[in-house]
Amino acid sequence: MGKVGIISSSDYNYDRVLRDVENLLSGLNVLKDLEKSSFLVKTNLLKKNKPEEGVTTHPYVVEGVVRFLQSHGHDVVIGDSPGGPFNPIILKSIYEASGIADVAKRTGCRLNYDTSVIEVKPPDAKVINNLKLVKAFTEVDHVVSCAKLKTHTMMTYTGAVKNLFGMIPGVTKADYHLKMNDIDNFANMLIDVCDFVNPLFSVIDGIEAMEGDGPSSGDIRDLGLLLAGENPFELDYVATGITGLLDSPLNRHALSRGLLEPDGIELFGIDIGSLEVDPFKLPGSTHVNFVSGRIPEFVKDFLLENIRPYPEVQKRLCIGCGICAANCPPKVISMKNKKAVIDTTHCIRCFCCHELCPEKAIKVKRHPLHRMVFGK
């Protein structure tokens, strides 16, 4: 049985957020009798975004977690491996843009700038034999997943579990996208990573969440909730239940692998039955993924190969920065006349280009038959 707490937090008022995080984590009671330890607060710093853009974990939520750990005598480092190049210069710019650098200044905690890599062999993994991780992230006693609640073009939803994909360094993540480009395999890979990292507890920033074509180009949704849990799979299960994203690949595979027991979750805080939340808008890429594995193989193959959504460049918005081409796992994006061009015949639909584009110049394009089949 694991505990999951839900608390109302209406906006990013500094004092209130810190107080709400402290109350939430006190109710979780995960630090009881824990000796002085070192912690990584693994936040979501996808790319160089400001807090108000709703892409990264809000710095006040991160600060609340840091101060809670420090108040119990623990040493804290904040870190993430954003998408794209992974080096101290890039990290510094992202820490500053996201407000995380200010958190370090106010609290005295450290920021990780060590980009060295270590290879491990997860003993209970289902789909990965070797896993490359940021070495510094493996040298702490405990990890906290401090996530942002968002929809996700590939995985439908991203929260406590998906956030730990950032334990993998920089462009190495593209290798995992390429090798695990099937939705189910990728979900199991994320579960393997989370199961190996085994965070002591997880926090989800759902004060302002994201719906639609997340995790970076969706619409901000005022949800007004903070969530925390001992088990990241159970925490995500509760979060997706609230937002109408319950039928996500991660939930399905975590259930099948026995990593969460919905009936055993002990809830505290807000009565979940009292919440009235309209279902989140799904990413335009989600509907075909949802039916994968539930229809005859020959029908599935036709759908996936012929009408599955794909990324499309909006040339009027493209500034020719080349970030999409540099981070495309199958290397099917080229730059022509200072504009990105995607070879969709070999695209694996990981939507990394959509996720990392700083100008939101790549949208999810749906085949005309998609509306006829899925009503969207």
Residue 227, strand partner residues = 6, 204
Q: Give the confidence band of 369 by pLDDT, cuts at 50, 70, 90.
A: low
* Residue 143 included in any domain: yes
pLDDT at 290: 44
Domain boundary pick from 274, 297, 331: 274
| Same-domain status, 270 and 317 | no
* Residue 190 included in any domain: yes
* Residue 279 included in any domain: no
pLDDT at 366: 74
| Same-domain status, 56 and 103 | yes
Instruction: Burial-class residue 316 by CB neighbours within 10 Å (0-12, 13-18, 19+).
Output: exposed
> Nearest to residue 57, comparing CAs of 145, 165, 153?
145
Domain boundary pick from 274, 292, 316: 274
Q: Give the confidence band of 285 by pLDDT, cuts at 50, 70, 90.
A: confident
* Residue 144 included in any domain: yes
Residue 296 predicted with pLDDT over 80: no
> Nearest to residue 106, comparing CAs of 179, 27, 18?
18
Residue 85 predicted with pLDDT over 80: yes
Mean pLDDT of 356-360: 94
The CATH number of the domain where 132 resides is what?
3.40.50.11440
Of 12-16, 71-75, 285-289, 333-337, which range is least confident? 285-289
C-alpha to C-alpha distance for 40 and 85, rounded to whole angstroms = 21
Mean pLDDT of 143-170: 97
C-alpha to C-alpha distance for 231 and 221, rounded to whole angstroms = 25
| Same-domain status, 322 and 221 | no
| Same-domain status, 243 and 350 | no
Domain boundary pick from 251, 274, 297: 274
pLDDT at 319: 97
Q: With pLDDT > 90 as the criterion, what percentage of the chain qualifies?
A: 84
pLDDT at 292: 45
Residue 288 predicted with pLDDT over 80: no
Mean pLDDT of 37-61: 97
| Same-domain status, 43 and 171 | yes
Q: What is the DSSP string of 254-283?
A: HHHTT---GGG-EEEES-GGG---PPPPPP
* Residue 315 included in any domain: yes
| Same-domain status, 146 and 250 | yes
Quick one: how many helices (H) and strands (E) in the chain?
Answer: 13, 15
The CATH number of the domain where 327 resides is what?
3.30.70.20
pLDDT at 133: 97
> Which structure tokens are listed for 24?
């939430």
CB contact set of 120 (below 8 Å; sequence gap of 6+)? 130, 131, 133, 138, 196
Q: Domain of 346?
A: 307-374
* Residue 240 included in any domain: yes
Of 171-175, 289-293, 309-313, 365-369, which range is least confident? 289-293
pLDDT at 303: 60
Domain total in the chain: 2
| Same-domain status, 224 and 348 | no
Instruction: Burial-class residue 207 by CB neighbours within 10 Å (0-12, 13-18, 19+).
Output: buried
- Selected residue with higher pLDDT from 140 and 373: 140
